[in-house]
Structure 1
Amino acid sequence: MLSMKPAIEVIDNADIEWVAGLMGLHSLDEPRRAFLKSTQTIDLSACPGSGKTTLVVAKLAILARKWPSMARGICVLSHTNVAREEIQKRLGGTEIGRKLLGYPHYIDTIHSFVSQFLARPWLLSSDYPVTAIDNDITTNVRLRHLGSQRRKVLTALNPKHIEFSSLRLRSADFSTPLESTQLKMKPTAPTFLAVAEAMQKAAEQGYYCYDEIFTFGGALLDEHPEVAESLVRRFPVVLIDEMQDTSQLQSEILRRVFPRDRAELCVQRVGDANQAIYEGDKSPVSDVFPDPTDGRSLTIGSSFRFDQSIASLATGLAIIPVGADGLQGIRNRKPAEPPCRHTVFIFPDGDTSQVLSAYARHALSTLDPMVLTKARVAAVGSVHQLRPEIAPGHKHFPASVSHYWQDYKITSLASARPTHLIEYVHSAQAIVIDKGNLCDGVNGVAEGIIRLANTLAERPVLRAFSRPHRLLERLLADNAATLGVYRSMLRRLLVDREVMSLALWPGISRDLIAIAEVASGCSSPGSSPDPFLELTAEHKSSFELKVRAETPPNTYRFQDAEQTVDVRIGSIHSVKGQTHTATLVLDTYNNGHHMERILPWLLGDRVGDQGVSSDLAAKRLRLAYVAMTRPTHLLCLALRRSSIGKGCEYEANKEKLVANGWNFIEL
Structure 2
Amino acid sequence: MIKVTAEDILYSESILLKPGQTFDHERLSYIKNFETLDLQAVPGSGKTTALLAKLLILEKHLPLEKDRGVLVLSHTNAAINEIKDRIGQHCPKLFSHPNFVGTIQSFTDIFLAIPAYGIKYKQKPIRIDNEIYNETISRIFGYNKFGFVKQEKSNAIYYNKNFNVLFSYRFKFKKGVLQLVKSISGDALEIKTPNKRKEKFTSVELDRIAEWLYVTKLKVLEAGILCYDDAYLLADIILSEIPSYISLLQKRFKFVFVDEMQDMEKHQFDLLERVFIGANSISFYQRLGDVNQSIYSKALDSNLIWSQRSKKLFISGSHRLSKPIAKIVERFALTGCTVQGRMKDLKGNEIAIKPIIFSYNLDTITDVIPKFAEHIQNLIAEGSIVHNEKNKYEAVGWRKHNEDNAKICISDYWPNFSSSEKTKNIDYIVLKDYLQFCEKNNATLAPVRKSLLNGLCKILYIEGVRDEFSRVYTITKLIRYFKTYDNKEYEALKLNLYNWCVALKNEELDTTLSEIIAYIPQFLHCFGRQINKSTQFINGSSDIENVDEIEEYEHSYSNNGIDVKIGSVHSVKGQTHTATLYLETFFSKGAGNYESERLREQIKGLPIKEHLEGYKGGSVDKIVQSARMAYVGFSRPTHLLCLAIENSRLEKFANEIDKNDWDVIQIKKTEAEDS
Q: TM-score, normalised by structure 1?
A: 0.80
Alignment equivalent of 2:74, drawn from 60, 67, 78: 78
- Report the 3-state secondary structure (helix = DSSP H, G, I; strand = E; otherwise coil) of the residue aligned with 1:119: helix
Moved more, 34-43 or 45-54: 45-54
Shift of 1:490: 4.8
**AA at the equivalent of 2:584:** D
* Counterpart AA for 1:135: N
Q: Aligned equivalents of 1:124 and 1:267: distance in 2?
A: 28
Tell me, yes or no, if structure 1 residue 63 matches structure 2 residue 64.
Answer: no
Matches for 1:534-573 after TM superposition, within 5 Å = 544=546, 546-548=547-549, 552=552, 554-559=554-559, 563-573=560-570
- What's the offset of the Cα at 1:623? 0.7
How many residues align structurally?
Answer: 605
Deviation at 1:507, TM superposition (A): 4.9
What residue in structure 2 maps to residue 227 of structure 1? 245
- 1:244 maps to 262
- Which of 169, 172, 179 is 2:171 aligned to? 169
Partner Cα separation in structure 2 for residue 108 and residue 418 of structure 1: 22
1:548 partner SS: helix
Which of 172, 183, 189 aligns to 1:182? It is 189
Asked whether the equivalents of residues 434 and 455 of structure 2 are also in contact (C-alpha less than 8 Å), the reply is no
User: Aligned residue for 1:483?
Assistant: 498
Distance in 1 (CA, whole Å) between partners of 2:491 and 2:377 is: 49
Q: Which amino acid aligns with 2:569?
A: I
What amino acid sits opposite 1:91 in the alignment?
A: I
What pairs with 1:108-123 in structure 2 (closer than 5 Å)? 108-123=102-117
Residues 501-527 of structure 1: per-residue CA shift (max 9 Å, x gap): xxx975565478799999999899656
With over 3 angstroms needed to count, the CA separation of the structure-2 counterparts of 1:176 and 1:238, relative to structure 1, is closer
Question: How far does residue 461 in structure 1 lie from its aligned partner after superposition?
Answer: 2.3
Aligned partner of 2:390: which letter?
K
Q: CA deviation at 1:142?
A: 2.2
CA 1:126/1:416 → structure 2, altered by over 3 Å: closer, same or farther?
A: closer
User: Matches of 1:108 and 1:365 in 2, distance apart?
Assistant: 44
Which secondary structure state, in structure 2, belongs to the residue aligned with residue 345 of structure 1? Answer: strand
Amino acid in structure 2 at the alignment position of 1:334: L
**Other-structure match for 1:378:** 394
SS in 2 for 1:366: helix
Backbone CA RMSD of aligned residues? 3.9
Matched residue type, 1:140: E
Cα separation, partners in 2 of 1:452 and 1:415, compared to 1, 3 Å: closer
User: What is the aligned partner in structure 2 of residue 270 from structure 1?
Assistant: 288
- 1:342 paired residue number: 355
Letter in 1 for 2:357: V
Deviation at 1:247, TM superposition (A): 1.3
CA contact 1:41–1:260 (8 Å) conserved in 2: no
How far apart, in 2, do the equivalents of 1:316 and 1:382 lie? 19
Name which of structure 1's ranges 241-250 and 330-339 shifts more when overlaid on structure 2.
330-339
CA distance in 1, matches of 2:29, 2:113: 36
Given that residues 45 and 270 in structure 1 are in contact (C-alpha distance below 8 angstroms), is that contact kept between their aligned partners in structure 2? yes
CA drift at 1:599:
1.9
Q: Which of 19, 22, 39 is equivalent to 2:34?
A: 39
The answer (yes or no) to whether the contact 2:395–2:564 under 8 Å persists in 1 is yes
User: Offset of 1:236 from its aligned partner?
Assistant: 1.3
Q: Which residue of 2 aligns with 1:665?
A: 666
Distance 1:164 1:334, change over 3 A: same
Q: Paired residue for 1:30?
A: 25
Q: Which moved more, 1:79-88 or 1:628-637?
A: 79-88
Distance in 1 (alpha carbons) for counterparts of 2:4 and 2:427: 46
Q: 2:404 maps to what in 1? A: 390
Give 2:198's aligned residue: none
Q: Is the 8 A contact 2:449 2:497 kept in 1?
A: no
How far off its partner does 1:375 sit? 2.2
Aligned twin of 1:501: none
**1:602 aligns to what?**
603
User: Is residue 431–residue 540 contact of structure 2 (8 Å, CA) maintained in 1?
Assistant: yes
> Residue type matched to 2:501 in 1?
Y
Residue equivalent to 2:200: none
Residue in 1 that maps onto 2:133: 138
CA contact (8 A) 2:329 2:634 kept: yes
Partner of 2:222: 204
Q: Which residue of 2 aligns with 1:127?
A: 121
Cα 1:427/1:40, change in 2 over 3 Å:
farther
Q: Distance in 1 between matches of 2:279 and 2:106?
A: 24
Post-superposition CA distance 1:596-641 (Å, at most 9, x none): 3212211113433622752222111111110111112211111101
Partners of 1:517 and 1:33 in 2: how far apart? Answer: 63
CA distance in 1, matches of 2:603, 2:49: 32
Residue 401 of structure 1 and its aligned partner are, at CA, apart by: 0.7
Residues 428 and 434, structure 2, Cα contact 8 Å, conserved in 1: no
Partner of 2:339: 327
2:8 aligned residue? 15
* 1:585 and 2:582 aligned: yes
In 2, distance between residues paired with 1:406 and 1:415? 27
Aligned equivalent of 2:378:
365
Cα distance change on mapping 1:365 and 1:517 into 2, 3 Å: farther
- Is the 8 Å Cα contact of residues 359 and 664 (structure 2) preserved in structure 1? no
Alignment pair present for 1:629 and 2:635? yes
Distance 1:337 1:13, change over 3 A: closer
- Residues 427 and 444, structure 1, Cα contact 8 Å, conserved in 2: no
The 1:359/1:279 distance shift into structure 2, 3 A limit, reads same
Distance 1:490 1:602, change over 3 A: farther
Aligned match for 2:418, one of 398, 409, 415: 409
Q: Which amino acid aligns with 1:16?
A: I
| 1:300 and 2:315 are equivalent in the alignment | yes
Distance 2:343 2:233 in 1: 45
What's the offset of the Cα at 1:564? 2.5
1:170 aligned partner, one-letter code? K
| 1:532/1:567 CA distance change after superposition, 3 Å | farther
Q: Quote the residue 1:495 is aligned against.
A: none
Displacement of 1:30 in angstroms is: 0.6
1:443-458 matches, within 5 Å, as 449=452, 451-458=454-461
Cα distance, 1:226 vs structure 2? 0.7
- 1:128–1:205 contact (8 Å) kept in structure 2: no
In structure 2, distance between residues paired with 1:76 and 1:517: 46
1:90 paired with 2:86, answer yes
Give 1:140-159 correspondences, 5 Å limit: 140-145=135-140, 146-147=142-143, 153-159=156-162
- Alpha carbons 1:57, 1:83 under 8 Å: kept: no
* Structure 2 CA distance for aligned equivalents of residues 663 and 21 of structure 1: 44
**Alignment match, 1:355:** 368
Partner deviation per Cα, 1:364-411 (whole Å, 9 max, x = no partner): 222357424432111111111x32x323xx2x2x1x211111211121
Kindly indicate whether the alpha-carbon contact (under 8 Å) linking 1:307 and 1:333 is maintained by their aligned counterparts in 2.
Answer: no
**2:324–2:352 contact (8 Å) kept in structure 1:** no
How far apart are residue 112 of structure 1 and its match?
Answer: 1.7
Note if contact 1:383-1:571 (Cα within 8 Å) is conserved in structure 2: yes
If you compute each CA radius of gyration, which structure gives the higher value, 1 or 2? Answer: 2
- Please tell me whether the aligned partners of residues 379 and 583 of structure 1 are also in contact (alpha carbons under 8 angstroms): yes
Shift in Å at residue 299 of structure 1? Answer: 0.9
Q: SS of 1:568's equivalent? A: strand
Superposed CA offset, 1:80-103 (max 9, x none): 244542343233333xx1111111
Deviations 1:414-449 (A, max 9, x none): 8999864589689969x99xxxxx779x99988865
Offset, 1:450: 5.8
Q: Which amino acid aligns with 2:263?
A: D
Question: Take 1:519 and 1:29, find their aligned partners in 2: how far apart are those partners?
Answer: 62
Q: Following the alignment from structure 2 to structure 1, what is the Cα–Cα distance between the partners of residues 513 and 175?
A: 43
Decide whether the 8 Å contact of 1:412 with 1:418 is kept in 2: no
Per-residue CA deviations over 1:440-486 (Å, capped at 9, x if unaligned) read 9x999888656533321206422799xxxxxxxxx999835533533
> In 2, distance between residues paired with 1:59 and 1:298?
15
